[in-house]
Chain A
């Protein structure tokens, strides 16, 4: 499935299957890191792609890359979700990671993940947002800068500070 998009008068085809497969895990993990609730992250991931599909004819490639546009949708949905929630999700309600290997590994991974989310909760909303885009979605600083309207330099500085703080909260292991 594809659709066409005008770029400087030339038509460029967007392969929706390719775009979907590339960005689905990134959107999903961004929302997991941002919200801290896997179930809600799944719901918002669905909403993100449904909204993108409905408005696909409005997408202007000369304005932003497609992934940037997707993350803009996901970011807004996350903000709306958190506003409605008003309090962060209880970390104890999180499901265990079923994709891990042994039971012991799964327990350790889950505990570490919960500790990470606890430390992220203490961050200001913007800092957590940037962290989620960088380490959840795997976006580059340049992409994050376009999304957040910060300079690339600012993004780098903030992320460096955030990671340092998270390490201090968790205690870096040798």
Chain B
């Protein structure tokens, strides 16, 4: 072999390889330039727009699912967790309902409340009602009740010398065949117990419209305790900010 000229072993690069390599390396653009090119191209812009809309829809659906009202069963009750505004929404009213009368079909209306004595109410009630035998200092059992024709029943009240009110609402469990629904805003409730039975404690600043007729205020701070016992549904509501949850539970557990 003639070794004086090693150049004969050289080989020219394939022309197609050479052209493609040059084209490839010189067509590379900066990220910004690529992005601009994408945005300028109509089909790419449309594609990007569709992807963005799809992403927004998916995120909105997930957010809706995440913050959708939840139903949680606690004992025989159903806690319906929702936004604070929803808790302050319209209430269901049952017209022509008296403690001894038949259960009417739910309708949305607001009849005029009727006042009767506590004794008459206790005699006419078609279901067993256990009344707390203990109340916080300063609160006195009111001798009259107001029949409000509401699904929660007729309230029995304890009042103090200020505008503080503690109301006991009762209704037969048979009135709620699928379990009584308690509405509470996110994070405003906790599960507690009354004499060992599951109960729900709710703290809020929005009230059902019926309460405002007693306090004269459209909104008040309230603490409500809900439980079931011996075929009767109970709700003890304090509209005075002086009552703490343990006091309310103690009052509820004194019911006989």
Contacts and interface: CB of A to CB of B under 8 A. Distances in A.
Contacts of A123: none
Contact of B11 (A38, A163, A166): A38
Contacts, number: 65
B155 to A, nearest CB: 80
B120 to A, nearest CB: 94
A69 interface: no
A25 B10 contact: yes
Interface string A91-118: 0000001010000000001001101100
Contacts of A50: 24-25
A167 B4 CA distance: 9
A97 B7 contact: no
Interface string A42-69: 1001100110011000000000000000
B33 to A, nearest CB: 14
Contacts of B26: 1, 16, 53
A7 to B, nearest CB: 23
Interface residues of A, number: 35
A42 B11 contact: no
Interface in A4-56: 16-17, 20, 24-25, 28-29, 32-33, 38, 42, 45-46, 49-50, 53-54
A170 interface: yes
Interface in B8-57: 8-14, 17-18, 21-22, 24-26, 28
A113 B9 contact: yes
A138 B7 contact: yes
B3 interface: yes
Interface of A: 1, 16-17, 20, 24-25, 28-29, 32-33, 38, 42, 45-46, 49-50, 53-54, 97, 99, 109, 112-113, 115-116, 135-136, 138, 163, 166-167, 170-173
B163 interface: no
19 contacts: A1-B26, A16-B26, A17-B22, A25-B13, A29-B11, A42-B14, A45-B13, A46-B21, A46-B24, A53-B28, A97-B11, A99-B12, A112-B9, A113-B9, A116-B1, A135-B7, A170-B1, A173-B1, A173-B2
A115 B22 contact: no
B6 interface: yes
Contacts of A99: 11-12
B10 A136 contact: yes
A138 B9 CA distance: 12
A54 B26 CA distance: 9
